[in-house]
Structure 1
Amino acid sequence: MLNKYYWWQYILIVLFIIIGIIYSLPNIYTDIPIIQINISNKNLSKIKILENIKNKLNVNRISYKKYLIKKNNINIIFFNIENQLQAYKIIKENSNNKYSVIIKLISTIPKWLSFLKAKPIKLGLDLKGGIYFLLRINNDYIFQKLREQNITDLKLILNNKNISFQLKRLNNFNYKIIFSNNVIRNKVFNYLKNKNNNFVNYIIINNGLLVSMKNKWFLELKKAIIENNIDVLRKRVNQIGISDSIVQKKGIDNIIIELPGIQNLSEAKEILGSTATLEFHLVDNNINNIQNNNFSYYLWKNKIPLFLNKKIIIDGSNIIHSNISRSEYNQPQVNIFLDDKGGNILSKFSEKHIGDNIATVLVNYINSDKKDKKGNFIQNKKEEIINIATIKSKLNNSFVITGLKNIKEAKNLSILLRSGSLSAPIQIIEEQNIGPSVGKENIKKGMKACIIGISICIIFMIFYYNIFGIIAVIALFINLIFIISLLSLLPNATLTMSGIAGIVLTLAIAIDANVLINERIKEELDNDISIQKAIDYGYKGAFSSIFDANITNLIISSFLYSLGSREIQGFAVTTFIGILTSMFTSIIITRAIVNIIYGGKKIKKLPI
């Protein structure tokens, strides 16, 4: 029979609509802004602390909704995030490290929706507010490190052959080797040329050689450095629980990090901006090594002088996992787990050095007050011994680091090691705080654009197509529900301002499809065929045009996502999703409603 669906088709359509509504619902709930004050010291009075905080908030005219006193903490609930952020700064400044202050958002989504894994749409930085970082990679560090390794190998070769020479270090990897005469120079040149020519160029200049890295290797190494650093930074972001983040490269040496809705800026900067890694060195008291300049001099606890062998046993690159725990004396410690390579190295080394001491050195790069020619702060290498341990037996793939100041230091070190070490140091060269008020303003503008656009479409459809216009409007709202639910369900989908523009566009595309269907039905009615046939032919005739147009739009959206910037990608995602849902609602949903109203009935006139 014309214009009739099977009963199971109606049930399936209703089921899709119910699922769409359920997974759209979390977006109507807002998070509760809270400041949690944790008091571990039993001698401190929670009442006095609360009274002091209330006085400070009142003086600064910061309003709050209510407070809750629990066993070990105080929770202060605020009306909005702006008040929460203002209060956090004041409370933190007046804490004097007597108690910890944590800022967070508590979800109000009902448990039954959480059970169904229903979550709100992830909002981008332009809608939610947050922090924007621009990081620059110090590639010189890795090139200079490779140069020193190359020079060490070269020194060994030349010293074994009793060849005297001089070295002059240049920028990046490059350096010069100067010999006493051209005969020695030519012999060394021929030897090095035949021995190792994979990534190094040797060029004869006067009575010496210029050693440089081949351009192909230079570019590949820079690419590998930025890719590894991006991977490490992404892991760090995930470790500190910042969701919906964006970590991507900008140019050759820069990385962009966007943290929407971030609450704890100082912790994020401390973790993301840190270049910390671990190195393990043998405590070396061998007078020969000291005289041969094979050691580094350090001052440890109580200014105790220590000599460490320069050779690194293992470093952060060999660590695959770490976590924190407490020792038998209730002191914080970090449990280290090595990869197979690191485990084998440590096992062989410890077997030969039972009774000797190993130093754990925390290596970091700190910005100085001086700037280089490019205007960037020069970074100084900072090394700190955090632990000295005696090798009592053969070690394996795991061991423990003690000697940490507190549990926070242990936690931060564990996060850095767990996420991996950076290939090269980074520095924050730009930091922008985008407040939630900016995001709210963008959402208001986006919603206003949606409402105006949809309202014009609704007025036009109802005025011009009567009942069929109302059916198209119902399908339009169902389409909007489907778009919102799919954006909520997709794990990596983030809604931005450009994404809202994509939604508005696809709603217009959905109306356009119904215009095609309605006009085709009117054409069939003008040919004096029955109303039931006109409806059937109208939907079938318009389908090919709608399908072809939407397939073209889907292809364009795919290219926009593949080749476009972040803003273009946000537009492409919502457009792609909207096109798929609009095809379903414009063709299937409207047809189902038309079938229910007019299918199988004798109608003299069709209100279209």
Structure 2
Amino acid sequence: MLNKYPLWKSLMVLFIVAIGAIYASPNLYPEDPAVQLSGLRGVETTAATLDTVKSHLDENNISYANIAMEKGQVLARFKNTEEQLKARDLLDDIMGEEYSVALNLTPATPSWLASIGGTPMKLGLDLSGGVSFLMEVNMQEAIVKVQKSLVDDFRTGLRGEKIRYRSVKNTNDSINVQFRNAEDLEKAETFLSKQNRDLLFVSNEGNLTLSASMTEQKLKETREYALQQNITIIRNRVNELGVAEPLVQRQGKKHIVIELPGVQDTAKAKEILSATATIEFRLVDTEGDLGAALNGRVPGSSQLLKERNGQPVLLKKRVMLTGDHIVDAGSSFDEYSRPQVNITLDSAGGNKMSSNTKSNIGKPMATVFIEFKPTDRVDSEGNTIFEKVEEVISVATIQARLGKTFRITGAGSQAEAHNLALLLRAGALVAPIQIVEERTVGPTLGAENVQLGFQAIMLGFGLVFLFMLVYYRAFGIVANLALGANLVMIIGVMSMMPGGAALTLPGMAGIVLTVGMAVDANVLIFERIREEIREGKSIQQSIHQGYDAAFSTIIDANITTLIAALILFAVGTGPIKGFAITLSIGILTSMFTAVVGTRTVVNAVWGGKRLDKLSI
């Protein structure tokens, strides 16, 4: 029988639409502005913490909707952002030493919906408010760091092969190794070229020098590695800040975009994100003459640095261990109530520390804090020049062989120890970065954007709804039902996506565009049905031929648009991706609702019946 679906197919269509509606429903419940309190390393949030937060808020007449323990954190919900910001400032002043106090937007989704994974769509920075940074990675520093590492590798390798050399120096874009005779030069070139196939080696027998420079492929890999590692480390730091739904992604060849929804105070975020701090452990040069070093006669194997109190210290240049091997770090107090940082190393770092301290028991070891700070100067390519600042934060005598876990002291305050632990735990940036653009979006502006975007969607939906109803009459009602189902399914799919798809203003534009495209498919079908009726075919044949004939045209038109949307998503960034996501989802859902959905309704209402007239 023409135009009749079996029951199972109709139920399947209804089931798909119902699933979309269920997972779209959490968006009907507005998010509550909240303050999230979580313990820093070594500090737990307990029922006593909950009571303390309540008492502080009550004493300062800050009204709240609810305070509860959720997932090991204290979550205080408020009725408006004004009370939320007051509470954040108060709790940060009183409890910020031991707890991380972060702004949050907490869903008010019913428990039964949450139990089946129902969550509202996440709102992008332009809708929820927050701060956005555009950061630039200093690629030249990344290359210099690799070159310095190669210098150490060359020295270690040549010593292991017992090849004598005068010096190994990093000059400009190459590494120069000076030898005593041509025989050592030849041996070194053979050995080093085998060990470093991604380097170009040029020997000069006249002055017994071997020069090594990185190939273009090696330079490209170094830049790509620096960018990707910095993105990973920044993500770790953002997670430590306790920001809800952050966005960290690359933009171009050397830029990183960071969006922190809900964050209005940018000072702490900037300090943590752009810091390039790491540490090194070196032996104190007890054999060198400190007085001579102060007069400018520093031994070639040593370096003169200062402690925080201004006291000069002569250190060995050779690094025993770097912060790259740190896998965990936390702040606490020692037995004298002084702030300290507890460090855990990976297996390779533990072995290095063990072997280095084993042979140096009784000797003083210094912990050097290293930070790159931007200057006012730029290089030939317009990049900011960073200044390397080194400071000795502690000098301690090695009492016994150290392993994977140990502690360092010398931090000025508990807050400083906490920040240092956070940076070491998250990892040191591979290359320095600088903030080249900063934007702050207030919550009020975000709410206004949401309202305007919603009004645009509703206006577009209403005008299309009215046109279809007037022009296609009964079939227009069917198209409008499909249009509503399409809108619900877009929201449902975006809410169900793994990791969540953030809705942005351009994303709303994509939804408005999809509304018009969804109706376009129905226009093609309905006009084809009219054509068949004018040619004298029966009503049932006209409906059948109308859907079948228009199907190929609809598929072709939507696939070409989907390809364009996927390209926008692949090569675009930020707002373009938001537009591409909603457009892609809208194309797929509109093909389902406009073709399969309307066909199901038409078959249920008009299918299999003798009809002389059709309201189309």
What is the TM-score of this pair, normalised by structure 1? 0.80
> Could you tell me which of 463, 466, 469 is aligned with 2:473?
466
Partner amino acid for 2:486? Answer: N
The CA deviation at 1:255 is 2.6
1:309 lines up with 2:316 in the alignment: yes
The CA deviation at 1:98 is 9.4
Q: 1:77/1:347 Cα in 2 relative to 1: closer, same or farther (>3 Å)?
A: same
CA contact (8 A) 1:91 1:101 kept: no
> Could you tell me which of 494, 501, 509 is aligned with 2:502?
494
Distance in structure 2 (CA, Å) of the matches to 1:36 and 1:231 = 24
CA contact (8 A) 1:364 1:382 kept: yes
Partner amino acid for 2:255? Answer: N
CA contact (8 A) 2:367 2:394 kept: yes
> Could you tell me which of 340, 347, 359 is aligned with 1:352?
359
Q: How does 1:357-436 map to 2 (within 5 A)?
A: 357-368=364-375, 378-388=385-395, 390-402=397-409, 404=411, 408-436=415-443
1:104 maps to 103
2:240 maps to 239
The CA deviation at 1:468 is 1.0
Partner amino acid for 2:455? Answer: K
1:590 maps to 598
Q: How does 1:204-219 map to 2 (within 5 A)?
A: 213-216=213-216, 217-219=218-220
Q: 1:507/1:67 Cα in 2 relative to 1: closer, same or farther (>3 Å)?
A: closer
1:57 maps to none
**CA offset digits 1:433-480 (Å, max 9, x no partner):** 222344334333432332232222111111111111101101111111
What SS does the corresponding residue of 2:318 show, helix, strand or coil? coil
Q: 1:68/1:29 Cα in 2 relative to 1: closer, same or farther (>3 Å)?
A: closer
Q: 1:495/1:221 Cα in 2 relative to 1: closer, same or farther (>3 Å)?
A: same
The CA deviation at 1:586 is 1.2
1:136 maps to 136
Partner amino acid for 2:579? Answer: F
CA contact (8 A) 2:326 2:424 kept: yes
Question: Mind listing any 5+ residue stretches in structure 2 that lack a counterpart?
Answer: none
CA contact (8 A) 1:35 1:101 kept: no
> Could you tell me which of 340, 343, 352 is aligned with 1:336?
343
Partner amino acid for 1:472? Answer: A
Distance in structure 2 (CA, Å) of the matches to 1:221 and 1:98 = 38
What SS does the corresponding residue of 2:134 show, helix, strand or coil? strand
CA contact (8 A) 1:103 1:264 kept: no
Q: Percent identity?
A: 37
The CA deviation at 1:49 is 7.5
The CA deviation at 1:120 is 1.8
1:482 maps to 489
The CA deviation at 1:572 is 1.9
What SS does the corresponding residue of 1:313 show, helix, strand or coil? strand
CA contact (8 A) 2:164 2:184 kept: no
1:606 maps to 614
CA contact (8 A) 1:32 1:78 kept: yes
Q: 1:527/1:65 Cα in 2 relative to 1: closer, same or farther (>3 Å)?
A: farther
Distance in structure 1 (CA, Å) of the matches to 2:168 and 2:541 = 95
Distance in structure 2 (CA, Å) of the matches to 1:185 and 1:241 = 60
The CA deviation at 1:561 is 1.9
Distance in structure 2 (CA, Å) of the matches to 1:136 and 1:450 = 36
1:450 lines up with 2:457 in the alignment: yes
1:570 maps to 578
Q: 1:399/1:117 Cα in 2 relative to 1: closer, same or farther (>3 Å)?
A: farther
Distance in structure 2 (CA, Å) of the matches to 1:96 and 1:539 = 66
CA RMSD of aligned residues (A): 4.5
Q: 1:322/1:49 Cα in 2 relative to 1: closer, same or farther (>3 Å)?
A: closer
The CA deviation at 1:511 is 0.8
The CA deviation at 1:145 is 4.1
467-476 vs 406-415, greater mean Cα deviation? 406-415
What SS does the corresponding residue of 1:574 show, helix, strand or coil? helix
What is the TM-score of this pair, normalised by structure 2? 0.79
1:230 maps to 231
Distance in structure 2 (CA, Å) of the matches to 1:79 and 1:73 = 18
**CA offset digits 1:56-115 (Å, max 9, x no partner):** xxxxxxxx765889999996945236x755x57976998798998935235222222222
CA contact (8 A) 1:185 1:209 kept: no
CA contact (8 A) 1:368 1:378 kept: yes
**CA offset digits 1:158-189 (Å, max 9, x no partner):** 999686x998x865x3588999xxxx899998
Distance in structure 1 (CA, Å) of the matches to 2:182 and 2:360 = 43
Distance in structure 2 (CA, Å) of the matches to 1:32 and 1:162 = 68
Partner amino acid for 1:285? Answer: T
1:268 lines up with 2:278 in the alignment: no
Partner amino acid for 2:549? Answer: G
CA contact (8 A) 1:29 1:109 kept: yes
Question: Mind listing any 5+ residue stretches in structure 1 that lack a counterpart?
Answer: 55-63
The CA deviation at 1:262 is 2.5
1:59 maps to none
Partner amino acid for 1:442? Answer: N
For this pair of structures, how many residues does the alignment match? 588
1:61 maps to none
**CA offset digits 1:175-225 (Å, max 9, x no partner):** 88999xxxx899998777556455255487998979573451333322322
The CA deviation at 1:30 is 2.5
CA contact (8 A) 1:92 1:101 kept: no
Q: How does 1:4-403 map to 2 (within 5 A)?
A: 4-34=4-34, 77=78, 79-80=80-81, 84-85=84-85, 87=86, 102-107=101-106, 108-148=108-148, 171=172, 173-174=173-174, 196=192, 198=197, 199-200=199-200, 202=202, 213-216=213-216, 217-287=218-288, 292-300=299-307, 306-323=313-330, 334-368=341-375, 378-388=385-395, 390-402=397-409
Q: 1:591/1:254 Cα in 2 relative to 1: closer, same or farther (>3 Å)?
A: closer
CA contact (8 A) 2:189 2:210 kept: no
What SS does the corresponding residue of 1:421 show, helix, strand or coil? coil
1:546 maps to 554
Partner amino acid for 1:248? Answer: Q
> Could you tell me which of 554, 568, 580 is aligned with 2:588?
580
Q: 1:372/1:91 Cα in 2 relative to 1: closer, same or farther (>3 Å)?
A: farther
Distance in structure 2 (CA, Å) of the matches to 1:154 and 1:46 = 57
**CA offset digits 1:549-568 (Å, max 9, x no partner):** 22222222222222334333
CA contact (8 A) 2:203 2:210 kept: yes
CA contact (8 A) 2:168 2:175 kept: no
Q: 1:215/1:542 Cα in 2 relative to 1: closer, same or farther (>3 Å)?
A: same
What SS does the corresponding residue of 1:310 show, helix, strand or coil? strand
327-336 vs 241-250, greater mean Cα deviation? 327-336
What SS does the corresponding residue of 2:428 show, helix, strand or coil? coil
Q: 1:84/1:192 Cα in 2 relative to 1: closer, same or farther (>3 Å)?
A: same
Distance in structure 1 (CA, Å) of the matches to 2:461 and 2:68 = 48
Distance in structure 2 (CA, Å) of the matches to 1:453 and 1:547 = 24
**CA offset digits 1:560-603 (Å, max 9, x no partner):** 22233433322222111111111111122222222332234444
Partner amino acid for 2:130? Answer: G
Partner amino acid for 1:237? Answer: V
Partner amino acid for 2:577? Answer: Q
Q: 1:331/1:533 Cα in 2 relative to 1: closer, same or farther (>3 Å)?
A: farther
Distance in structure 2 (CA, Å) of the matches to 1:95 and 1:265 = 19
The CA deviation at 1:405 is 5.2
Partner amino acid for 2:475? Answer: F
